[in-house]
Amino acid sequence: MRLELSSLLKVIGDWISSLGLPVWLVDLIEMCGAAAMVMGMAFLIILFLVWWERKLSGHFQQRLGPMRTGWHGWLQTIADGIKLFQKEDIIPKTVDRKVFYWAPVICFASSFAAFACLPWGKNLWPTDLNIGILYIFAITTFVVISLLMAGWSSNNKYALLGGMRSAAQIVSYEVPLTLSVLGVIVATQSLSMVAIVGAQEKVYNWFIFRQPLGFLIYLIAATAETNRAPFDIPEAEQELVAGFNIEYSGMKFAMFFMAEFLNLFLVSAVAVTLFLGGWHGPFLPSWLWFLLKAFFIVFVIIWFKWTYPRLRVDQLMEFCWKFLLPLAFLNLIVAGFLFR
Amino acid sequence: MAYDLPVLSGIKNLLIGLWVTLRHLFSHAVTLQYPTERWPMPERSRGVVVLLSNKETGDLNCTACMLCAKACPCAAIMIERHRGDDKKWKIDSFSVDNSICCYCGLCEEACNFDAIKLTPKYEFSTYDKPSLTYDMHRLQELGRDVAYTPRVRKTPAAATPAMTATTEAGGASTPMAPRTATETPTNSSEKGGSA
Amino acid sequence: MADSGTIIRLLVEKFPSQVEAIELNPKQTAVQIDPRIVVAFFEFIKTHPDLKMAYLSSISGVDMTTNIDIVYFLSSIEYKHKLTVRTKVNRKGGKIDTISTVIKGANWFEREIWELFGVEFLGHPNLTQFLLPDDWDEGPPMLRDWTGRNFVKMPEIGG
Amino acid sequence: MREPAAGYSEEFEVNMGPQHPSTHGVLRLLLRMDGEIIKNAEPHVGYLHRAIEKICENRTYPQCIPLLDRFEYVTSMSTEEVFCLAAERIAAIEVPERAEYLRIIMLELDRIASHLIFLGTFSLDLGAITPFLYCIRERETIMDLFEMTCGQRLTYNYIRVGGVSQDIPEQFLPLARKFVDTFQHRVDDYEALLTENPIFLARTKNVGIVNKQVCLDYGASGPVLRAAGVEWDLRRDDPYSIYDRFKFEIPTGTVGDVWDRYMVRVRELRQSNEIVRQALDQLPTGDIKAKMKPLFKPPVGEVYARIENSRGEMGCHIISDGSTKPYRLKLRGGSFCHTQLIPEVAPGIMIADLVAMFASLDVILPEVDR
Which residues are paired to D307 by β-bridges?
A: D314
What pLDDT is attached to residue A202?
A: 83
Q: Do A307 and B21 touch (CB under 8 A)?
A: yes
> What residue ranges define each of the domains in chain B, with the CATH number in brackets?
49-144 (3.30.70.3270)
Q: Is C152 on the interface with B (CB under 8 A)?
A: no
Using a threshold of 3 CB pairs under 8 A, tell whether chains A and C touch. Answer: no
What pLDDT is attached to residue A48?
A: 93
Question: D216: closest CA among A125, B77, C104, B181?
Answer: C104
> What residue ranges define each of the domains in chain D, with the CATH number in brackets?
48-369 (1.10.645.10)
Residues of B in contact with C159 (CB under 8 A): 66, 162
User: Does a structural domain hold residue C131?
Assistant: no
Radius of gyration of chain C (CA): 17
Kind of pairing between the strands at C95-97 and C120-122: parallel
What pLDDT is attached to residue A161?
A: 77
Over 80: is that where the pLDDT of B6 sits?
no
Over 50: is that where the pLDDT of D368 sits?
yes
pTM of model > 0.90 = no
CATH number, position C30: 3.30.460.80
* Interfacial D residues in 133-152 facing A (CB < 8 Å): 133-134, 137
Distance from chain centroid for Cα A131: 18
Task: Confirm if D361 and D224 have CB atoms less than 8 A apart.
Answer: yes
> Given A62, A157, A315, which is nearest D202 (Cβ)?
A315
Angle, in degrees to the nearest 10, between helices A325-338 and A212-225: 140
Closest-CA distance, D9 to chain A, in angstroms, reads 15
Q: How many structural domains compose chain C? A: 1
At residue D120, the 3 state secondary structure works out as helix
Q: Do C62 and D319 touch (CB under 8 A)?
A: yes
pLDDT tens for each residue of chain C, 159 residues long = 667 888 888 888 888 888 888 888 888 889 999 888 899 999 998 888 888 888 999 999 999 888 999 999 998 888 888 899 999 998 888 889 999 889 988 999 999 999 999 899 998 888 888 888 888 888 888 888 888 787 777 777 654
* Interfacial B residues in 61-120 facing D (CB < 8 Å): 71-73, 102-106, 109, 118
Task: Confirm if D106 and D146 have CB atoms less than 8 A apart.
Answer: yes
Over 50: is that where the pLDDT of A164 sits?
yes
The string of pLDDT tens digits covering residues A143-162 is 899 989 998 998 887 788 78
Cα separation, D35 vs A161, whole angstroms: 8
Question: D130: closest CA among A310, A237, A58, B10?
Answer: A58
For residue C133, how many other CB atoms are within 10 A of its CB? 10
Every domain of chain A and the residues it spans: 42-60+67-338
Q: Do C80 and D238 touch (CB under 8 A)?
A: yes
Q: Is D350 on the interface with A (CB under 8 A)?
A: yes
**DSSP letter string over A227-296?**
T-GGG--TT-HHHHSSGGGGS--HHHHHHHHHHHHHHHHHHHHHHHHHHS-TT--SSS-HHHHHHHHHHH
Kind of pairing between the strands at C19-21 and C30-33: antiparallel
User: DSSP H helical segments within chain C, as ranges?
Assistant: 4-14, 38-47, 106-117
Q: Do A309 and D127 touch (CB under 8 A)?
A: yes
User: Does a structural domain hold residue C76?
Assistant: yes
At residue D159, the 3 state secondary structure works out as strand
Task: Confirm if A245 and A30 have CB atoms less than 8 A apart.
Answer: no
Closest-CA distance, B148 to chain C, in angstroms, reads 28
Q: Do B75 and C154 touch (CB under 8 A)?
A: yes
User: Does a structural domain hold residue C79?
Assistant: yes
**DSSP letter string over B68-137?**
HHHH-TT--EEEEEEE-TTSSEEEEEEEEETTT-----HHHHH-SSS-EEE-S------SSSGGGEE-HH
Residues of C in contact with D58 (CB under 8 A): 153-154
Closest-CA distance, B183 to chain D, in angstroms, reads 8
Kind of pairing between the strands at D312-321 and D326-332: antiparallel
Q: Do B162 and C154 touch (CB under 8 A)?
A: no
Question: Residue D62: enclosing H or E segment and its boundaries?
Answer: helix D61-69
What pLDDT is attached to residue B193?
A: 31
Instruction: Please tell me which residue, B96 or A232, carries the higher pLDDT value.
Output: B96
User: In terms of residue numbers, what domain contains C64?
Assistant: 4-92
Q: Using CB atoms, which chains have 3+ pairs under 8 A with B?
A: A, C, D
Closest-CA distance, D259 to chain B, in angstroms, reads 13
Q: Using CB atoms, which chains have 3+ pairs under 8 A with D?
A: A, B, C
* Interfacial B residues in 33-62 facing A (CB < 8 Å): 33
Q: Do B28 and A306 touch (CB under 8 A)?
A: no
Model ipTM value: 0.85
